[in-house]
Structure 1
Amino acid sequence: MKLLVLDGNSIVNRAFYGVKLLSTKDGTYTNAVHGFFRMFKKLLDEAQPDATAIAFDLPAPTFRHKRFEGYKGKRKGMPEELAQQMPIIKELLTDMGYQIVSCEGWEADDILGTLAAACEKAGNSCMIATGDRDSLQLVSDSTTVRLASTKFGQPQVTLYDVAKIQEEYGVEPRQLIDIKAIQGDTSDNIPGVAGIGQKGAAELIQKFGTLKAVYDNIEDSSIKAGMKKKLEEGKESAFLSYELGEIRKDAPVETDIQVYQKSETNHAKIYAALAKLELFKLIEEWNIETNQTTLQESGGDSVATSDSITVQILADGSAVLARCADEGKAVFYTQYDKSGKIEKMIFAIEKEFFEFAPSESFLRAFFTSSIPKYTSDVKLLHKAALKMGINGVKKIALDTTLASYLINPSSGKYEIPRLAAEYQVSMGGQEDEGMQSAVALPEICNRLEAEIKENAQEKLLQEIEIPLALVLAKMEIVGFYVDKQGIAEYGQTLQVQIEDLQTNIIREAGMDFNINSPKQLGEILFSEDKLALPHGKKTKTGWSTNAEVLEEIRGLHPIVDYVLEYRTLSKLKSTYCDGLTKLIDEDGRIHSSFNQTETRTGRISSTEPNLQNIPVRTAVGRELRKFFAAEHGILADADYSQIELRVLAHVADDAQMQEDFREERDIHTATAGRVFGLPQELVTSEMRSKAKAVNFGIVYGIGAFSLSKDIHVSVAEAGAYIKEYLKNYSGVDNYMKAVVEEAKEKGYVETLFGRRRYLPEIKSSNFNMRSFGERVARNMPIQGAAADIIKIAMIRVSERIEKENLQARLILQVHDELIVECSEDEKESVKKILEEEMEKAANLAVPLKVEANFGETWYDAKA
């Protein structure tokens, strides 16, 4: 038989430190749970054991502590974030049917050793899984060690057998104790022999075989005088270290392998626990089944359950429309084909479910009805309506996708099955996924509606997110016209420049090489026998050649500038020229997808392609905007002026900053004047630039070190700028402190409009994680409010364009910028609408400023 024995504490620690800090929205940490069970699953899949034991340390002192008071004395206590996850892990293991083994006075390592020895004696094989190399001494013909680690959040396992240890260490597994006795172990505070490291210890044991043999042959001429002196002075410490480092094999634990065979899994309990922890991926990976009522066929078109739920397959939905009207609401789930056409709808009315393929006449009647509608992903529903010539779906009462996003913006997934797991709602047990979602939908709607109300987010949902879904649906359908031929020709121009740069780079390098290979480029730039430019530390994969590294050595050699430009142009051509050309539809327009539920701050994101990421910082990147044009007429581009700083002035109630904005001063010049103690007319462009960096940096919680790098001054000088800034803008200073304290108290921050972001990191014992939480606490209410304001503006602009019967269409939003396509004769009307509706989107203590510009292309309108 095969026994798998886990060193529980070791693997939990590897998981905790190897996976970024994760938590539920209520602040329960989950990264160790997530990492441990992913590792455990990998080990089970690879080892396929007949029995499994998980050994955990107990907090009581062991015989080693009694033998040596300083044993493990330098170890820090377990972080609170990890401590609160340990009982969760143990309870889940027990519910899964696995045996946990602990023994007071003994370490988990000794349990591993005892079980390994028992397996060997009984003719069984033992597979030890641990994150510590201490257990490598246990490797034998019957025992292997799987060394577990986590890399980039993914579980990694390295198998050690006798041959692997001989190859890596040059000794037998048992001799690793002797090496450790001489070299010591700083992590366990095992002293060893002072002054002798791993290399020296290994050479001694390779020659003499054991610690005892080393001292028996202390006069051997191969032991140099210095080494001999250290050994003699450290003899007592060496033998003590051997005693401490040797894993015992006689711990008083059950050694019958049969005892460790897995018992029955409590699926319902595990499902509930993992769902509460929001670890839905683990539910899927471990194939944890839900404890839900299974629908049983009862003949005909109707299927009944023990809960008296019935499912009826209908030829059309005429009867359903009347029933929904009588109920005063419609709760329904919709399935679409790949083109976005509605294939099937399932309506839930009390405990009856009606499934049918809707006719166009039904959809027209339903979409335009005033019946309150409860469903998911209304943007898709709006698009279906718009393609039928209907101006969106009327009376959306609740969208589960948008509501769950507002409740938990960090989740990232808001599908019905995921929500059913989170809220422990039955999905009926039917095989059809659509029917499962429909069964769960009514209760999910009830839960979400109650939680939205509890969070006072009804207005945010009903007046911003739900109306915005229709605006985004229209933008996706309209798309953005692109000059396909022009962008292709621009790509060819870039290719010529790229080839010229390749020639220059090869010439400067003095040899041909793969410019796209960081390893080869690093050798050319930094090797002593090549260009020998200044460099950072070399890793296993070679020197780093990322943009930050190359920027630091720009100007030291022509090849660096060539490489930077080569990378810029190559990315422009491949990502934008080649990539965008493939995405231009038959109508000559790019139809990007706009996502409402991707960012934690509330900002809209754009994919396939990401039109919000068209380069603007370089002249060559801005050229791309010349190929985004008005198909007929012109483009209007309206941009908020410093919206985040204006929001900051409002929420911080900073009198000085508010005065600057009300008086329409240049905020960066005004800031520079105060920070540098000069009249504004004496502020130089360089001073203004530094003040601008401070202004925007403050919004993002920038520190002196980061600011010093941004504006190229010393850390002390940057710190002085920040100190002087906060002295002049005391309201901002007070806000920065108050919002962090509020986040610590509530566990979240929110915008002026009630959008929340939960911040478990802010209570972390880890300084870097806590600092991250504090930065987000300062920034999110600002950035999130700016996102809310632009959303309100989009809704109002779109509605007013329609109200005034204009042909103009809102086609793109990029952060604080809106783009409208219109005819030349609508220019003034569109300008008025954009400026008025954007400026009136929020009532702040300072005015919102917007300026609309026009041009035939995006480049012209933005210039």
Structure 2
Amino acid sequence: MELLVLDGNSILNRAFYGIKLLTTKEGLYTNGIYGFMTVLQKLEKEVQPDATAIAFDLNAPTFRHKRYAGYKANRHGMPEELAQQLPNLKKLLTLLGYRLVTCEGYEADDILGTLGAACTRRKDTCVIATGDRDSLQLVGPYVSVRLARTKYGQPQVTLYDEQRVMEEFGVTPPEMIEIKALQGDSSDCIPGVRGIGPKGAGQLIQQYHSIDYIYDHLKELDIRESMRQKLENGRESAYLSRELGTIRTDVPVGTDIQGYVRGPVQKQEATDLMRRLEFFKMLESLDLGDTVEQSNPAEADTAVALVLHPDIEQLCSKLKADGHLYLAGIFEGRSLQRLSVVHKQAVFLLESPQEWDRVFALHLPCCTFDSKLLYLAVESSGAELLVETDALLAAYLLNPTAKSYSYAHLCQEYGIPLPSSVTPKGLQPQDLMRMDTLSACGQWQSLPQLCSVLEKNISEANQTTLLQNIEQPLARILAHMEQAGFAVDAKRIAAYGDVLAQKADALQKQIWEEVGYEFNLNSPKQLGEALFVKLGLPHGKKTKSGWSTSAAVLENLRYDNPVVELVLQYRTVSKLKSTYCDGLLKVIAPDERIHSSFNQTETRTGRISSTEPNLQNIPVRTDIGRELRRFFVAKPGCVLIDADYSQIELRVLAHTANDKNMIDAFRSGEDIHRATAAQVFHMPEEMVTPLMRSRAKAVNFGIVYGIGAFSLSKQLHITRQEADAYIRDYLQHYSGINDYMQRMVEEAKQKGYAETIFGRRRYLPELKSSNFNLRSFGERVARNMPIQGAAADIIKIAMIHVENRLHREGLSSQLILQVHDELIVEAPEAEAETAKALLQEEMENAAQLSVPLVADAKIGKTWYEAKA
């Protein structure tokens, strides 16, 4: 038989430090547990043992501590973030049927040694898994050691048998402890022999094999006299060190393999704990089956009938009688392929647009998953979708930092059973080839339960208004925007790409001439050699793969040599060519428009993001980047109206912090950056220079993002003392802002989350961390999330109001793009002025704050003209 034995503390410890700190929404630390479990799964897959024992240390002195008071005296206690994880790990392992082993007075290493020795006596195979090389002394004919660690979040396991130990260390496994007797072990405070390090200890044992032989023949050994004297002086310490470092094989624990055969899994309890730890993917891989307890025994059967080719008239009649719909779509891109309608215990599968339109035409309130995609499907039918609950958006509001919002993930998280089996009804011969695909539709049978749970949680979090009045209506707006797209001039994009290619070639030749030879500018290694070896630029940062040529490194060298500026220009031009010109040409649709995807569940602050392509990322900071906006155009007969909020985040800050000075400045229509500069630099506003205003602007916006003196000093190229003085003077003048900063952190610590004025939350377990950097991050987020999140909420409200009013007033103008605080409407020329006034009015009245919201709107034939 084969026994797998794990050193629990060692593997947990290495997992904890090998994975960045992870927490659940409620603040449970989980990175160590997660790493441990991935190592355990990897080991079990590779070893496939008959039994598994997991040994843990006890928080009590061992015989080693009693023998030597200095043993492990330099060890600090477990970090609180790790200590919190140990009970949950042990509980989870127990629920999964594993046998945990401890013994007072001994360490986990000794339990490993005892079980390994017992296997050897029986000629059973034993695989020891640990992160500690001390266990290599246990390797033998029947015992192997797998050194396990977690690196970059991934489990890594290295096998050591007798041959591997001999090849790597030049000694037999039992001789490993003889080396430790001489060199000691600083991590465990084992003294060894003073003056003898790893190299000397290794050479002595390779030649003489044991400290017994060395001390029995000390006078005859062929060694330097100084070495002989060190050995003589350290004789007692060497024997003590060997005693401390020798792993015991006689611990009074059970050694029968049968006692470690994995027991029955307590499925329900294990599933509940893993959900609490938010190990949803791991829960899937463990395949614990359907473990959700049902309050009603009649509900315990989670088999579902999947009805293919239903009688649509009969189905619509039933749905109309219910007065409510549960809908879910299967999509390919934006295209609806199948519509699942959940009714009672059955899922009805509709596969033709005619059938979908019949259901949409019922105009019944519905619960669904990802309503934006359904809105796209409804668009062509002219019907109206009345969304009551979107499970995807509800889940996002409840946990905006989750890694996944997949339907299966959410069912696991909220304890909703997925169907255990699917029985197709109305099966036809042509359906047989696609049964796997069709059966997957049966999962939607759980949609009513999931929506019910999410509605309850949303209500308890006081987020019903946020969901129903902002997020869900916005999904319809985003669907319209995706459908509309943005017209582009493909020929001019291609021509500009050619211009950029020529500019990149010219810059490359210039760089080659400055350096003195040709090389691949896109190779960091070759560029690093050119800059730091050939040109000898200072302050280079070398990594394992060569010199770092990151943007941050080059920015610091910008003024040390003209070639650095050329390289930065080359990178800018090359990126514009490849990412934007070439990239945009690839995604132009047959209607000569670009149809980006807008995402509501990507960011943690509530901002909308854009992908495929990301139109929110079109460069604007450089003249050469801004040129790209010339190629985004209005369709014939139309113009673009671009409206941008003025300093919305600062206005939200003034309102939220209730700072009198900032409120007065905004109400009076002052230039807030000039007014701030006057206060920070202690001078009349008319004497504020453009540089002073620019620096005050950096402080204003930096405060919103929780900037510190160090970051501000780098941004403004000033000393840290100057930056600190700027921030100090700023907070002294805007004392309400200072009070707000402190209040937000304290409230977030008490509640466990930061919150906007509209009820959007971000949970902040980082605030409880003992790690200074992590805690500081949590404090920064607690200060700036309510501001950034509220600004995101306001622009969403504005989008809803603009779209609704355009429709209400019978205008053909339509919203086609949102970029952070900016909205773009495409309008027929005859409607332009009306639409412009409407857009500006709705943006400025999207929220009632203690300061006015200001939006500036302009009209142009291109995005560039409308933004100018």
TM-score, normalised to structure 1, is 0.93
Q: When the two structures are aligned, how many residues end up with a matched partner? A: 849
- State how 1:215-614 maps to structure 2 within 5 Å: 231-291=231-291, 306=301, 312-313=307-308, 315-337=310-332, 340-348=335-343, 351-357=344-350, 360=353, 363-364=356-357, 366-390=359-383, 392-393=384-385, 395-431=386-422, 434-527=440-533, 530-614=534-618
Amino acid at match of 1:682: M
Q: Give the superposed CA RMSD.
A: 2.6
Which region of structure 1 is more displaced relative to structure 2, 139-148 or 59-68?
139-148
Distance 2:208 2:743 in 1: 66
Please name the residue that 1:723 is paired with.
728
Counterparts of 2:476 and 2:499, CA distance in 1 = 40
Distance 2:517 2:237 in 1: 57
**Counterpart check, 1:672 vs 2:707:** no
Query: Which stretch of the first structure deviates more once superposed, 706-715 or 398-407?
Result: 706-715
Encode CA deviations 1:3-40: one digit per residue, 9 max, x unaligned: 22211111111222222222222222222222211121
* Residue of structure 1 in register with 2:131 after alignment: 131
The answer as to whether partners of 2:304 and 2:442 remain within 8 angstroms in 1 is: no
Residues 303 and 420 of structure 2 are in contact (CA less than 8 Å); yes or no, is this contact kept in structure 1? no
2:430 is aligned to none
Cα 1:244–1:687 change in 2 (3 A) is farther
- Which letter does structure 2 place at the counterpart of 1:376? F
Higher mean alpha-carbon deviation, 758-767 vs 246-255, is at: 246-255
Correspondence 1:710 to 2:701: no
Per the TM alignment, residue 548 of structure 1 is displaced from its structure 2 partner at its CA by: 0.8
**Cross-structure match for 2:432:** none
Q: Distance in 2 between matches of 1:664 and 1:248?
A: 79
Structure-2 separation of matches of 1:539 and 1:147: 27
Q: Given residue 50 of structure 1, which amino acid in structure 2 is its aligned partner?
A: D
How far 1:855 moved relative to its partner? 2.0
Greater shift in the superposed pair: 513-522 or 670-679? 513-522
Distance (Å, rounded) in 1 between the aligned partners of 2:646 and 2:222: 78
Note the C-alpha offset of 1:375: 1.5
Give the Cα separation in 2 of the matches to 1:161 and 1:510: 54
Match of 1:11 in 2: 11
Tell me the CA shift for residue 61 of structure 1: 0.9
Counterpart of 1:474, as a letter, is H
Distance, in Å, in 2 between the alignment partners of 1:217 and 1:414 is: 70
Find the aligned partners of 1:214 and 1:539 in 2 and give their Cα distance. 43
8 Å CA contact 1:318–1:362 kept in 2: the answer is no
Whole-angstrom distance in 2 between the partners of 1:51 and 1:851? 71
Change in CA separation of 1:370 and 1:845 when aligned onto 2, cut-off 3 Å? same
SS at match of 1:710: helix
2:444 alignment partner AA: A
The DSSP-based 3-state class of the residue aligned with 1:341 is: strand
Residues 841, 159 of structure 1: alpha-carbon distance in 2 compared, 3 angstrom cutoff:
same
Q: How many Å apart are 1:228 and its aligned residue?
A: 5.6
**Residue number among 810, 813, 817 corresponding to 2:818 in the alignment:** 813
The SS at the match of 2:785 is helix
Structure 2 residue aligned with 1:188: 188
Shift in CA distance, 572/274, structure 1 to aligned 2, threshold 3 Å: same
Q: Is residue 104 of structure 2 the alignment partner of residue 104 of structure 1? A: yes
CA drift of 1:434 comes to 4.8
CA distance in structure 2 between the aligned counterparts of 1:676 and 1:182, rounded to whole angstroms: 66
Flag the 1:336–1:144 CA change in 2: closer, same or farther, 3 A: same
Q: Which residue of 2 aligns with 1:663?
A: 668
Structure 1 position 756, deviation (Å)? 0.7
Offset of residue 230 of structure 1:
5.1
With 369-378 and 60-69 compared, the bigger mean Cα shift is at 369-378
Q: Secondary structure at the match of 2:824?
A: strand
1:628 pairs with one of 629, 632, 635? 632
Aligned counterparts of 2:408 and 2:785: Cα–Cα separation in 1 = 29
SS of match in other structure, 1:635: strand
AA aligned to 1:590 is: I
Structure 1 CA distance for aligned equivalents of residues 858 and 522 of structure 2: 40
CA contact (8 A) 1:128 1:146 kept: yes
Contact 1:337 1:343 (8 Å CA) reproduced: no
AA of the residue aligned to 1:379: K
The match for 1:300 is none
SS at match of 1:192: coil
What one-letter code is carried by the residue in structure 2 that aligns with 1:91?
K
Over 3 Å counting, the alpha-carbon distance change for 1:332 and 1:686 in structure 2 is same
Q: CA deviation at 1:413?
A: 2.5
- Deviation, 1:370, is 4.4
Question: Partners in 2 of 1:720 and 1:612 — Cα distance?
Answer: 35
For 2:266 and 2:843, how far apart are their aligned partners in 1?
A: 55
What CA distance in whole angstroms lies between the structure 2 residues aligned with 1:452 and 1:210?
69
Distance 1:766 1:421 in 2: 31
AA matched with 2:592: G
Residues of 2 paired with 1:368 and 1:659: CA distance? 53
The answer as to whether partners of 2:497 and 2:582 remain within 8 angstroms in 1 is yes
| Distance change >3 Å, CA 199–CA 560, structure 1 → 2 | farther
Q: Distance in 2 between matches of 1:136 and 1:695?
A: 59
Deviations 1:168-193 (A, max 9, x none): 44444333333333433332222334
Q: What fraction of aligned residue pairs are identical, expressed as a percent? A: 56
Question: Could you say if the C-alpha distance between residues 582 and 136 of structure 1 is closer, same or farther in structure 2, counting changes exceeding 3 Å?
Answer: same
TM-score under structure 2 normalisation? Answer: 0.92
- Tell me how far 1:743 sits from its aligned partner: 0.8
Consecutive unaligned residues in structure 2, runs of 5 or more: 423-437
Work out the CA distance in 2 between the residues paired with 1:130 and 1:334: 48
Contact kept, 8 Å, 1:293 with 1:306, in 2: the verdict is no
Q: 2:501 is aligned with what amino acid?
A: Q
Measure how far apart 1:310 and its partner are: 6.2
Q: Which residue of 2 aligns with 1:739?
A: 744
Judge conservation of contact 2:308–2:350 (CA < 8 Å) in 1.
no
Trace 1:168-207 onto structure 2 (pairs within 5 A).
168-207=168-207
1:715 deviation in Å?
2.2
Deviation at 1:445, TM superposition (A): 1.5
What per-residue deviation string (whole Å, max 9, x for no partner) do you get for residues 280-299 of structure 1? 110122233223799xxxxx
Q: How far did 1:511 drift?
A: 4.3
| Shift in CA distance, 149/690, structure 1 to aligned 2, threshold 3 Å | farther
| 1:341–1:384 CA contact under 8 A, matched in 2 | yes
Mapping for residues 133-152 of structure 1, pairs under 5 Å? 133-152=133-152
Secondary structure of the residue that 1:144 maps to in structure 2? strand
CA contact (8 A) 1:317 1:358 kept: no
2:673 aligned partner, one-letter code: H
| Distance in 1 (alpha carbons) for counterparts of 2:116 and 2:538 | 52
How far did 1:490 drift? Answer: 1.9
1:299 is matched with which residue?
none
Supply the AA of the counterpart residue of 1:320. L
Distance in 2, matches of 1:189 and 1:789, equals 60
Kindly provide the CA deviation profile for residues 527-547 of structure 1, in whole angstroms up to 9, marking residues without a partner as x: 4xx333223553332232211
Distance of aligned partners of 1:522 and 1:360 in 2 relative to their CA distance in 1, 3 Å threshold: closer
8 Å CA contact 2:22–2:30 kept in 1: the answer is yes
| CA displacement 1:631-667 (0-9 Å, x = unmatched) | 2222111111111111111111111111111112121
Question: Unaligned stretches of 5+ in structure 1?
Answer: 295-302
- The SS at the match of 1:331 is strand
Q: Is the 8 A contact 1:317 1:356 kept in 2?
A: no
Q: What amino acid does structure 2 have at the position aligned with 1:534?
A: P
- 1:840 aligns to what? 845
Distance in 2, matches of 1:533 and 1:30, equals 44
Q: 1:642 to 1:525 in 2, by over 3 A?
A: same
Q: Which AA in structure 1 matches 2:634?
A: A
C-alpha contact 1:304 1:310 (8 A) present in aligned 2: no
TM-fit CA distance, 1:592: 0.8
C-alpha change, 1:450 and 1:725, in structure 2 (3 Å) is same
Q: Give the 3 Å change call, closer, same or farther, for CA 552–233 of structure 1 in structure 2.
A: farther
* 1:562-601 superposed Cα distances (whole Å, 9 cap, x missing partner): 3322322222222222222111111111111111111111
